[in-house]
Amino acid sequence: MMDAYSGTKYIYLHPGDFYFGDCHTRMRTLLGSCVSIMAWHPELKIGGMCHYVLPSRCGAGHVRPDGRYAEEAVTLLLNAIAAADTRPSQYRVRLAGGGSMFRSTCP
């Protein structure tokens, strides 16, 4: 969705989604047990966010990274950072989510 007045683009990320853009984009998501990584370059005003569900998937030989898995979501984020001709150390990074949604089976 685009706000015609401000030119701001609004993105809602579902589990497995990834987006990288500039300061004219507002990203949102809803987290429970999922996790989101957000990276922001304060000088260039670019950044991205991923919304992943699981730490990794079994097996090898996958053609493309799948944003549902942490290892691959991080790869997507690092690829976008490299494509922007920037370095990960230039970004402010935040991690959110991973809430305990189920009753623990541990005493």
Three-state secondary structure along the chain? CECCCCCCEEEEECCCCEEEEECCEEEEECCCCCEEEEEEECCCCEEEEEEECECCCCCCCCCCCCCCEHHHHHHHHHHHHHHCCCCHHHCEEEEEECCCCCCCCCC
Tell me the pTM.
Answer: 0.82
pLDDT tens-digit series, residues 1-32: 666 667 788 999 999 999 999 999 999 999 98
Confidence of residue 106 (pLDDT cuts 50, 70, 90): low
- Mean pLDDT comparison of 3-7, 29-33, 58-62, 80-84, highest-scoring range: 80-84
